[in-house]
Amino acid sequence: MPDFAELSLDGKTYQLPIVVGTEGEKAIDINALRDQSGYITLDSGYKNTGATRSAVTFLDGELGILRYRGYAIEDLAEKSSFLEVAYLLIYGDLPTKEEFATFESGIRRHTIVNEDMRKIFEGFPVNAHPMGVLSSLVCAMSAFYQGDNGKDDHLNIIRLMAKMPTMATWSYKKSQGHPINYPNNQLDYCTNFLNMMFALPVESYHVDPVVASALNKLLILHADHEQNCSTSTVRLVGSSRANLFSSISAGINALWGPLHGGANQEVIEMLEDIKADGGDSKKYIAMAKDKSSGFRLMGFGHRVYKNFDPRAKIIKKAADDVLNKLGVNDPILSIAKELEEAALNDEYFVARKLYPNVDFYSGIIYRALGIPTNMFTVMFALGRLPGWIAQWKEMREAKEPIGRPRQIYVGATNREYVAMSERFRFVEK
Ligand code: CMC
């Protein structure tokens, strides 16, 4: 492998260093290019731009590989717990028994949300989207836990991991007109979340272990995905030295969009529409292919996966298992399978390498678990939290410079300003 790439511009040759990652990924370092040549690189949507060197997650979109800190997603989803994966992502290695006990008990100790934050929450309208509520409350944490930016990062990480489930369940309770539940620190992370979501003061509630285990798997599958839109947002905001809470809050907002995490809500709404319209999946495949329709097959396609999304493979099987175990017969699961089958055999989708992504089947499981549609993206945020934290921490520890892309200006060139009084005088009748 050469040490440099050579670029010829305006009769001069520039040597640009080659960077190789531990999995053999290659990059050309263009950091000095503008200073040397006056040129920048242009890459809308960062389709081919490496923004950082990261040791958190490796993925190979062509081969459908996803690993957290070197461990295969298939193994983690099958054998690990969400909190163990969170530790792995945030601190780099699997925890020892003692390290895990300290991490877990720290999280159990911090689950209560400040009562004054509850007053902020009470001001939201009953029909507020839970993503807006969650991002606001996470941002508000920066007012309640000001601490020392840098010195208190570890404690703030524990606080955030601990309080997210509590805050996430509040907005659901409000939308139902039910009293909120407080955390029960005897319960594990997933069981505690489900208890806060579904327990009512008027009847006893028992968390079904099938449900808790399905939730554990879904959270693991969402825990990190290297430099996606929301993670890049977290890193970019954090690069200005903004605190952890405001950086993560920005990530939650980025995740909300329908092209990113918001797709899981859109998928279910789309499948419901297809069902209400007679269940003709072919009609919707045709619409997705017709650019003038403005319709996209939600839950299909991915910026980096061009073979299959390994998370979708696991989730599809989990959807079958969970529905079977819970005895749920959801007609939209058959519509989803029909749609997948039709798309995978259609030239349009094959040529563009469009496969089902993580969001295609996750909503079907969430529905079976009793989680309402507008909470789906909140579930994604809950899962993605350790990934955002790990990436934020990595960026800060590496003392990365502030993120500040350049642009090619395409607006008006220099124009002479004529004062309003002058301009209006000319057009007056
Ligand atoms: N349905 C129909 N056509 C599609 C779809 C789709 N879901 N996705 C991409 N295409 C077409 C697109 O029109 C384009 O066609 P052409 O080359 O003829 O112009 C081609 O495929 C390439 O698409 P693109 O929009 O340039 O690809 P991208 O990498 O910029 O976008 C994406 C990736 C995920 C935003 C896009 O595939 C999409 O909008 N999918 C639906 C939304 C979705 O499911 N998002 C969740 C992503 S996974 C969860 C996460 O990590 O966020």
The mean pLDDT of 81-95, rounded to a whole number, is 98
Cβ atoms < 10 Å from Cβ of 228:
22
Q: Where are the domains of the chain?
A: 4-50, 72-260+380-397, 263-369
pLDDT above 70 as % of the chain = 98
> Is 155's pLDDT higher than 70?
yes
DSSP class per residue in 329-395: --HHHHHHHHHHHHHHTSHHHHHTT--B-HHHHHHHHHHHTT--GGGHHHHHHHHHHHHHHHHHHHH
- The CATH number that domain 4-50 falls under is 2.20.28
Of 303, 308, 358, the one to substitute when testing ligand 1's pocket (max ligand atoms within 8 A of C-beta) is: 303
Nearest-angstrom CA–CA distance, 400 and 413? 34
Residue 37 pLDDT grade (very low, low, confident, very high; cuts 50, 70, 90): very high
- The CATH number that domain 263-369 falls under is 1.10.230.10
Radius of gyration of the chain (CA): 24
CB of residue 350 inside a 6 A radius of ligand 1: no
Atom of ligand 1 nearest to the CA of 302: 34
Q: What is the distance in A from the centroid of ligand 1 to the CA of 85?
A: 29
More confident residue, 81 or 146: 81
Residue 351 pLDDT grade (very low, low, confident, very high; cuts 50, 70, 90): very high
- The CATH number that domain 72-260+380-397 falls under is 1.10.580.10
For tokens 């839109």, what's the residue? 229
Spatial strand order of the sheet with 71-72 comes to: 57-60, 65-68, 71-72
The tens digit of pLDDT for each residue in 214-260 reads 999 999 999 999 999 999 999 999 999 999 999 999 999 999 999 99
Q: What is the DSSP letter of 306?
A: S
Query: Which amino acid type is present at position 131?
Result: M
Q: Which of 225, 302, 321, 346 is catalytic?
A: 302
**Dihedral in degrees, nearest 10, Cα atoms 163, 164, 167, 168:** -150
Provide the pairing of β-strand 12-20 with 4-9.
antiparallel
Q: According to the model, what pLDDT value does residue 149 have?
A: 64
pTM: 0.93
Of 354, 358, 376, the one to substitute when testing ligand 1's pocket (max ligand atoms within 8 A of C-beta) is: 354
Specify the 3-state DSSP secondary structure of 15: strand
The tens digit of pLDDT for each residue in 383-418 reads 999 999 999 999 999 999 999 999 999 999 999 999
> Is 138's pLDDT higher than 90?
yes
> Is 287's pLDDT higher than 70?
yes
CB-CB contact of 79 with 55 (8 Å) = no
Is 302 designated active site?
Answer: yes
For tokens 């939201």, what's the residue? 124
Q: What is the DSSP letter of 46?
A: G
Q: What is the distance in A from the centroid of ligand 1 to the CA of 218?
A: 22
Provide the pairing of β-strand 26-28 with 12-20.
antiparallel
Residue 321 pLDDT grade (very low, low, confident, very high; cuts 50, 70, 90): confident
Is 154 designated active site?
Answer: no
> Is 21's pLDDT higher than 80?
yes
**Dihedral in degrees, nearest 10, Cα atoms 169, 171, 175, 178:** 50
CB of residue 225 inside a 6 A radius of ligand 1: yes
Helix ranges restricted to H, 126-258: 130-144, 153-176, 189-198, 209-222, 229-239, 244-256
Of 47, 265, 290, 300, the one to substitute when testing ligand 1's pocket (max ligand atoms within 8 A of C-beta) is: 300
CB of residue 255 inside a 6 A radius of ligand 1: no
Q: What is the distance in A from the centroid of ligand 1 to the CA of 302?
A: 6
Q: Which of 153, 224, 309, 359 is catalytic?
A: 359
Q: Whose CA is nearest to atom 10 of ligand 1?
A: 301
The tens digit of pLDDT for each residue in 268-283 reads 999 999 999 998 988 9
Nearest-angstrom CA–CA distance, 78 and 127? 37
DSSP β-bridge partners for residue 18: 28
Q: Which of 2, 45, 8 is nearest to 27 (CA)?
A: 2
Q: What is the distance in A from the centroid of ligand 1 to the CA of 45?
A: 12
CB of residue 358 inside a 6 A radius of ligand 1: yes
Q: What is the distance in A from the centroid of ligand 1 to the CA of 355?
A: 10
Mean pLDDT (the chain) is: 93
